[in-house]
Amino acid sequence: MSEFRKLDDIADVKGKVVLLRVDLNLPMRDGAVTDLTRAQAVAPTILELADDGAKVLLLAHFGRPKGERNPDMSLSLVQGAVQDVLGREVMFVSEVYGDVVRDAIAKLPDGGIALLENTRFWKGEEANDPQFAKAMAENADLYVNDAFSAAHRAHASTEGLAHLLPAYAGRAMQKELEALEKALGNPEKPVAAVVGGAKVSTKLAVLEHLVSRVDHLIIGGGMANTFLAARGVDVGKSLCEHELTGTVEKIMDAADEAGCTVHLPYDVVVAKEFAENPASLRICNVHEVADDEMILDIGPQAVEALGDVLKTCRTLVWNGPLGAFETAPFDEATVTLAKTAAALTKEGSLISVAGGGDTVSALNHAGAAGNFSYISTAGGAFLEWMEGKDLPGVVALKK
């Protein structure tokens, strides 16, 4: 994975036109951008290229317009937010290829920045149509991809362009790929993976891939109930995919063969109703869950033991919460283990990489995100990477 082309491999960008693929799919409410994280992530690459004298054309998608122009999904809506983050003027261009783009480039000074229209307004984008990619490439000298979050999609702006122009990874993409290489590509052993979330069915490919790559697999969330059920534990009325217990047994057998230890909770937090601090809340052994109770978090003894496991590891990959963390007190296991991981990372004994939407929220909630080695904000791309899949947008940047 480390053999990809990056900005340092470009001799000189002064006066060159760079098509820079970024993620500007910013969340909005009532016409205003509510979170600038994605724009902030790509700002260093945009500014570096502009400061080196390139004419920077930003390519991005916004929402799902399905190949039709839709004024509610025009990237002109985020132009102001992007200008605020960059502290620079950004020209908006209503097309992605052709004369309108050519005229804009002619007006743009060296070091100027332009935001092109939503690539998904054209059917050729998601179809990865070679003619559409060629039309975009005709106005540019170089292509830079800084949108890891879209790298699992083989679209014209994420993959097609990389075959038509000299192609490089931007700084955010580079950081992401280097972090992922350290976590699963060529990690320092022993390696632990925390995999949580509601359903085993959404993470089957991840679990099947990880058992052969990690030394410790820590299972949390509703998924743990399905694993417990496969072990013959009665999980009461807990969220559980009983039809997958056979699949789970196969995963456990594969883990045994690979020498990977699967960690399941032996004490759990249960309640009769899912609500904040319910009266029926109690902590019990997994074998003592009543028929009318549901498991909503991992218990304190299990969390302490998991903390001890992390102390023996050098690398941690984390995806998904351990319990129903949005509702107190079912956030305790996630918060406690996240704080342990953050402390071990801070003292230099652990490399910790986390990703996925719920995961980022959970680690922020725990106040632990700042001390993790790397947090990926990419949802689908991070999961596909954890499944061991080749990401088309990354493969296209290889040397």
- 370 flagged as catalytic: no
Annotated binding site for (2R)-3-phosphoglycerate: 38, 120, 153
Catalytic residue among 38, 55, 171, 213: 38
8 A C-beta contact, residue 188 and residue 159: no
- 232 flagged as catalytic: no
Distance (Å, whole) CA 235 – CA 290: 8
Distance (Å, whole) CA 331 – CA 322: 8
CA 109 to chain CA mean position, Å: 35
HEC states along 38-89? HHHHHHHHHHHHHHCCCEEEEECCCCCCCCCCCHHHCHHHHHHHHHHHHCCC
SS3 state of residue 343: helix
- Residue 199, CA distances (Å) to 222, 273, 324, 338 in order: 6, 19, 12, 21
- 357 flagged as catalytic: yes
Cα dihedral across residues 281, 286, 289, 293: positive or negative: positive
User: Do β-strands 267-271 and 294-298 pair in parallel, antiparallel, or remain unpaired?
Assistant: antiparallel
Annotated binding site: 23-25, 38, 61-64, 120, 153, 203, 326, 356-359
- 38 flagged as catalytic: yes
Catalytic residue among 134, 175, 182, 199: 199
Catalytic residue among 357, 367, 370, 389: 357
Distance (Å, whole) CA 335 – CA 2: 33
> Which H helix or E strand runs over 351?
strand 351-355
Distance (Å, whole) CA 21 – CA 301: 47
Annotated binding site for substrate: 23-25, 38, 61-64, 120, 153
The one-letter amino acid at 338: A
Catalytic residue among 53, 307, 379, 380: 380
Distance (Å, whole) CA 169 – CA 45: 10
Annotated binding site for ATP: 203, 326, 356-359
> Which H helix or E strand runs over 236?
none
- Report the catalytic residues: 38, 199, 357, 380
